[in-house]
Homo-oligomer: A and B are copies of this chain.
């Protein structure tokens, strides 16, 4: 005979496992859903961005070890500037992820440049160099910098070549890098060597691991931030493995940018190049790789904090008021774009000297 007590105990004995099963099932299915959601996010990110390639070859300037070696040395070379103090590194210090941390770049004799130094890490695959499309690519940028009045400030390309030719170590290195050239120490080859070096400056980051299928490479907040980045429409302009650099866009689609950035003076952007009214306040969409490590932000460095820059962008470009939480999430996601700078790139090369 079973007492009521017996029945109760039997029920409890079966009920408890049933309850446990329910808990397990719930955890399991929500993990499954989470895994599904992660996989969806991975797939979506992969289709819109895609992981970084290993380098950015160009048919016009094939990457060779000899060219990269020379380019790396020239990248540090100050003796080819009008005050002997400007090298590529001046505006692109590697310890600060190859941006100088200043509002606007400062060149020879402390001349202020018109705009903020963009990082040159992962920068070679953009439609153009600099902010307004007046430098076709990294090679063109490197070459023009030599005689740019606010950058290296040299009077002529010949004056640069003369200095380099006076250092036998460089003459040998140019011959090694351009073995078919009879007289290889030219500004065009300077540009090719520096460009080849820059084409190797890739910094894969946790976000690449995520796109390669490791969902745990991003924190929960970073995943939410990525989701918001996609849902809000940031990726309309900031796409490609570089999250930008592929198009020009008006800065301030829904209201003048200087309303929010407090920029002074107002920069008319690409209009300066094309004189086309439609290009007023148009800038190249900057890449977002290493953005968290390269303040201040915007073409004039007018904003210091990334979260503020994110909030301003949503308002100006998408007429969206992000909540504080959304802005923080996107900022956290952008942190996942801070990459590994290869040790070889961080090594200072010893430079040749005059005999």
Contact = CB atoms under 8 A, between A and B. Distances in A.
Interface of A: 73, 76, 78-79, 83-85, 90, 93-97, 100-102, 106, 109-110, 292-293, 295, 341, 343, 346-351, 353-354
Nearest to A343: B347
Say how many copies of this protein the assembly contains.
2
A350 B99 CA distance: 12
A97 B79 CA distance: 14
A353 B110 contact: no
Given A84-B102, A347-B347, 16 more contacts: A73-B95, A78-B93, A83-B106, A84-B100, A85-B100, A85-B102, A85-B106, A95-B348, A96-B351, A110-B110, A292-B353, A295-B354, A346-B347, A346-B348, A346-B349, A347-B348
B341 A350 contact: yes
13 contacts: A76-B95, A83-B106, A83-B110, A84-B100, A84-B101, A85-B110, A94-B348, A94-B350, A95-B349, A295-B353, A341-B350, A346-B349, A347-B348
Chain A binding site: helix, strand, loop or mixed by DSSP? loop
Contacts of A90: 85
Closest 7 CB pairs of A and B: A110-B110, A346-B348, A95-B351, A94-B348, A76-B95, A95-B348, A84-B102
Contacts of A94: 348, 350
Given A85-B100, A102-B85, A106-B83, A95 B295 contact: no
